């Protein structure tokens, strides 16, 4: 006979978390007045209301029963809250540890950073001002002949030739030719 805990094909490598007691978990409570469904806090409130109603109707046994049900779910709720608080504290401690580790790594990188960043900038010997490469005269790159880069020229890389403009044609009808002067 097979064990009921054997793996089925669909659940091979599935990691499942044990939810345990969750404050928001929905419970079905089968109490003396029928089913009560909800989160532990909702069930506690419902059983407390039923206990008040039973007390008002002078039914002490039912009131005690409802109070015991409410107490049971109160214990579940406090346990769930305690577990959630422990998980939160563990998570915060882990986050603090990670942050401390990142801070230590950052401090180590800062300590191992080259000394050049800490040295003052070089000064010009003539003026005594910090040597700024941006203020130095820049060569004219257009005047420098570029060596052959070995790249193939494509139509996109060639400059487009300028279009020639034509002289307007003179219409002979607009300006009649001048008649040669007759000899006298």
Instruction: Report pLDDT digits (tens) over 67-81.
Output: 999 999 999 899 989
Look at the pTM and tell me if it is higher than 0.75: no
How many domains does the chain divide into? 1
pLDDT above 80 (res 51): yes
Residue 153 is assigned to a structural domain of this protein: no
The pLDDT of residue 170 is 74
CB 126 within 8 A of CB 136: no
Residue 28 is assigned to a structural domain of this protein: yes
The pLDDT of residue 168 is 75
Lowest mean pLDDT among 15-19, 65-69, 100-104, 145-149: 15-19
State the residue range of the domain holding 27. 22-112
Going by C-alpha positions, the residue among 21, 144, 156, 5 that lies closest to residue 81 is: 21
Alpha-carbon distances of 81 from 54, 77, 87, 95, 114, rounded to whole Å: 29, 6, 10, 21, 51
Residue 29 is assigned to a structural domain of this protein: yes
The pLDDT of residue 86 is 93
């Amino acid at each position: 006979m097979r064990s009921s805990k054997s793996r089925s094909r669909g659940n091979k490598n599935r990691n499942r978390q044990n939810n345990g007691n969750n404050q928001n978990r929905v419970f079905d409570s089968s109490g003396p007045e029928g089913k009560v469904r909800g989160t532990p806090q909702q069930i506690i409130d419902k059983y407390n209301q039923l206990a008040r109603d039973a007390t008002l109707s002078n039914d002490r046994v039912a009131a005690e029963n409802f109070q015991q049900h409410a107490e049971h779910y109160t214990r579940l709720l406090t346990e769930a809250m305690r577990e959630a608080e422990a998980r939160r504290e563990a998570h915060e401690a882990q986050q603090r540890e990670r942050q401390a580790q990142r801070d230590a790594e950052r401090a180590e990188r800062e300590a191992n950073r080259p000394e050049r960043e800490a040295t003052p900038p070089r000064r010009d010997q003539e003026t005594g001002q910090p040597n700024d490469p941006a203020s130095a005269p820049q060569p004219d790159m257009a005047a420098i002949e570029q060596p052959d880069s070995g790249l193939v020229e494509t139509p996109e890389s060639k400059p487009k030739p300028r279009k020639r403009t034509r002289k307007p044609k003179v219409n002979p009808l607009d300006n009649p030719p001048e008649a040669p002067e007759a000899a006298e």
